[in-house]
């Protein structure tokens, strides 16, 4: 017999934020990739369903987008900037070369959280690390935050952190109220 646990967080707002989750090149191979790094999740569609359900539990709407093509990701960012409150991106195959995507995210003025199934800072063979060792992401220096090494749970961590930061007007740079 299995049980389902419910996670409740204390949000400072009842606003139903809209979060765009972007998965880049090679994420379409999810389910066929290294089980050590990517776990047992069966497909990109399974990941999207997991993230949407988690977002629903937080009281937010998740708009999932994925592509193996940088140009399509750029077009999505440009056309979604006015309707979303923030972004979660797994740049995947664009992690070290996706300067155009990184710049487009920065230009939206919206917060963005970088996610990775693997711990991209781990040495080769390290826990949840990539086979080839650590890599430097071109996204990290302008991202609002980062979650990595937790497989699909990196998305849950990113979504929770992004929602809480959007609820907190002082966190993202708006002036805090004074008495």
Sign of the CA dihedral running 156, 118, 81, 161: positive
Residue from 38, 50, 103, 155 carrying the catalytic annotation:
38
174: which DSSP letter?
P
Is residue 103 among the annotated active site residues? no
Residue from 116, 141, 153, 155 carrying the catalytic annotation:
116
Q: Comparing C-alpha atoms, which of 122, 159, 171 is closest to residue 47?
A: 159
> How many angstroms separate the first and last alpha carbons of the chain?
53
Is residue 153 among the annotated active site residues? no
CA triplet 19, 22, 27: central angle to 5 degrees?
A: 145
Task: Report the C-alpha gap between 144 and 106 in whole angstroms.
Answer: 10
Task: Report the C-alpha gap between 159 and 60 in whole angstroms.
Answer: 9
Residue numbers annotated as active site: 38, 116
């Amino acid at each position: 017999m299995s049980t389902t646990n419910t996670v409740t967080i204390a949000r400072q707002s009842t606003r139903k934020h809209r979060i765009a989750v972007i998965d880049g090149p090679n994420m379409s191979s999810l389910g066929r990739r290294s089980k050590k790094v990517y776990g047992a999740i069966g497909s990109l569609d399974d990941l999207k369903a997991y993230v949407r359900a988690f977002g629903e539990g937080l009281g937010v709407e998740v708009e999932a987008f994925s592509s193996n093509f940088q140009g399509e990701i750029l077009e999505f960012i440009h056309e979604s900037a006015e309707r979303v409150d923030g972004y979660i991106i797994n740049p995947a195959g664009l992690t070290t070369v996706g300067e155009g995507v990184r710049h487009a995210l920065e230009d939206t003025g919206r917060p963005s959280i970088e996610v990775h199934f693997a711990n991209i800072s781990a040495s080769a063979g390290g826990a949840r690390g990539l086979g080839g060792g650590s890599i430097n992401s071109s996204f990290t220096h302008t991202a609002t935050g980062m979650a990595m090494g937790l497989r699909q749970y990196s998305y849950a961590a990113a979504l929770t952190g992004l929602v809480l930061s959007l609820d907190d007007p002082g966190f993202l740079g708006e002036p805090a109220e004074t008495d």
